Structure 1
Amino acid sequence: MLAGKRVLVTGGTTGIGRATVHQLSREGACALTFGRHQPELDDAIMAAPGPGPVYGLTADIATREGVAAVFEAVDTQLGGLDMLIACAALGARPLQEMEEEAWRYVVETNLVGYLACARAAMRRMENGGHLLFVSSISPEIKAPGESVYAATKAGVNAFAETLRKEVAERNIKVTVIEPGSVATDMQECSTQEKREAVARHEMLHAEEVAEAILFALTRSERCDLVSLRIEPRLQKNA
């Protein structure tokens, strides 16, 4: 169902985004992704299993110039767009522990970047499409230390659920995926600690979230999967 689909994955060089790019490649989709660092981008592209091609560039979703460069690549490399999967996001410290420039950059990346990419993607979806936003369970948990991060993800949720009502008549689907703890670079613990948390069923593999993303993307035209919450069995809620 995804063979030949033209898909943009934001933040596809690490974590959930990288796992999603590789799943799309296995399914034969044509994927374009980006990240801020060339080594991670090169590694993600080299590791793509195929048969679907994967293209990439370095760009910063928090800037207007970065978003413009990404969608110029969408036009030249993909020749259009069928699906957007927004994954690019940063973790954050508590607001009172962050410099103003730092917390504003997180908001620009996690929320404004999603809006900017959605707007540019919809302009290329004349015959319909699918917008999928990777959010988080953080707005529900409201754990101490996640004030900035939770605020951005709550914004993504409200934006997506409202946008869905605005674009449904244009044959554009909107989905939100809300993962719990996932063993990615965003976690402030060692690789060994992540392995142990996964073994204890306290964290998920990024690939498990990518599988949920592909499930959402492959429903029938009449089926709009609005939101999907996916957690490890023993998710910590504080």
Structure 2
Amino acid sequence: MDLTGRVAVVTGGSRGIGRATAEWLARAGARVVLSYRARAAEAEAVAATIAAAGGQARAVAADVRDPAAVVALFDTAVAWGGGVDIVVANAGVWPAEPMPLASMPADQWRITLDTNLVGALQTAQEAARRLRPEGRLVLVSSTAAQRGEAFHADYAASKAALHGLAKSLAVELAPRGITVNVVAPGWVDTEMTADALAGEARRAIEASIPLGRVATAEDVAGPIVFLCSPLARHITGAVLSVNGGGVLCG
């Protein structure tokens, strides 16, 4: 996949899926602007790794919950790269503790929705304004959006909303040749899921996945980069599940 000459914005690019996606996009030739909220050193390390491999990247502080920060992120991408061709809305949070919705404090579900939904919507809105013709927008969701997630209803709801957002924007932006798609990972071995995938819990989760293991961040980054490439030029409004078949088994 050759993305030479393209400029990509990846939110939540300091670790996990975002880091793997930023690095893969750069290997394909794209210039990458990766955002972070608090992990400056990790984000700068990603940019340095990309540069050491011969790519081009910039790490930019941007809290996607803040609309002004999202605008500034895109301003930086345009000033540095000359425009924006690819946007990956990846920034997200996983609730720290499972909890029944009936007893969930409002501040917990607001934090989840503010990042996973509002942050993604604001990123998508700016993408709709800035993407050049034939651009690509990919929203990172979750299989929780497809099958629900008991005791994490806030997370499942925040991710399910992205499916409706993508399908709506796919139609709105089609006249400009812009595609809008969703990648919905299952369990992924990242820093965010380290506690949930510890010990016996991991073995039980892997036993429920037909392919027998949780995904790596690279397993998810590959499909994202595919959807950002010319190979996916006639795919829009789609949800691509990346879960080793786990969603098939409840």
- Which residue identity lines up with residue 176 of structure 1 in the other structure? V
Partner of residue 214, structure 1? 225
Shift of 1:63: 1.3
Residues 173 and 179 of structure 2 are in contact (CA less than 8 Å); yes or no, is this contact kept in structure 1? yes
Partner of residue 24, structure 1? 25
Residue 185, structure 1, aligned to residue 203, structure 2: no
* Number of residue pairs the alignment of both structures matches: 238
Shift of 1:222: 4.7
- Which residue identity lines up with residue 7 of structure 2 in the other structure? R
**C-alpha distance in 1 between matches for 2:184 and 2:6:** 24
What does the per-residue CA deviation read over 1:156-201, in whole Å, with 9 as the maximum and x for residues that have no partner?
0111012111211121111111111101122152786498789873
**C-alpha distance in 2 between matches for 1:180 and 1:116:** 24
**C-alpha distance in 2 between matches for 1:154 and 1:98:** 19
Q: Tell me the C-alpha RMSD between the 2 structures.
A: 2.5
Q: Secondary structure at the match of 2:183?
A: strand
**C-alpha distance in 2 between matches for 1:47 and 1:67:** 24
Partner of residue 223, structure 1? 234
Q: Secondary structure at the match of 1:136?
A: coil
Shift of 1:3: 1.3
| TM-score relative to the length of structure 2 | 0.85
- Which residue identity lines up with residue 208 of structure 1 in the other structure? D
Structure 2 unpaired stretches of 5+: none
Residue 155, structure 1, aligned to residue 155, structure 2: no
- Which residue identity lines up with residue 44 of structure 1 in the other structure? V
Residue 69, structure 1, aligned to residue 69, structure 2: no
Q: Secondary structure at the match of 1:176?
A: strand
- Which residue identity lines up with residue 28 of structure 2 in the other structure? E
Partner of residue 82, structure 2? 79
Q: 1:97 to 1:52 in 2, by over 3 A?
A: farther
**C-alpha distance in 2 between matches for 1:140 and 1:227:** 10
Partner of residue 15, structure 2? 14
Q: 1:183 to 1:175 in 2, by over 3 A?
A: same
Shift of 1:52: 2.2
| TM-score relative to the length of structure 1 | 0.89
**C-alpha distance in 2 between matches for 1:215 and 1:236:** 23
Residues 134 and 176 of structure 1 are in contact (CA less than 8 Å); yes or no, is this contact kept in structure 2? yes
Q: Secondary structure at the match of 2:131?
A: coil
* Comparing 168-177 and 179-188, the one that deviates more: 179-188
**C-alpha distance in 1 between matches for 2:163 and 2:128:** 18
* Comparing 98-107 and 166-175, the one that deviates more: 98-107
Percent of pairs with identical residues: 32
Residues 202 and 234 of structure 1 are in contact (CA less than 8 Å); yes or no, is this contact kept in structure 2? no
- Which residue identity lines up with residue 164 of structure 1 in the other structure? A
**C-alpha distance in 1 between matches for 2:83 and 2:220:** 26
- Which residue identity lines up with residue 42 of structure 1 in the other structure? E
**C-alpha distance in 1 between matches for 2:94 and 2:30:** 29
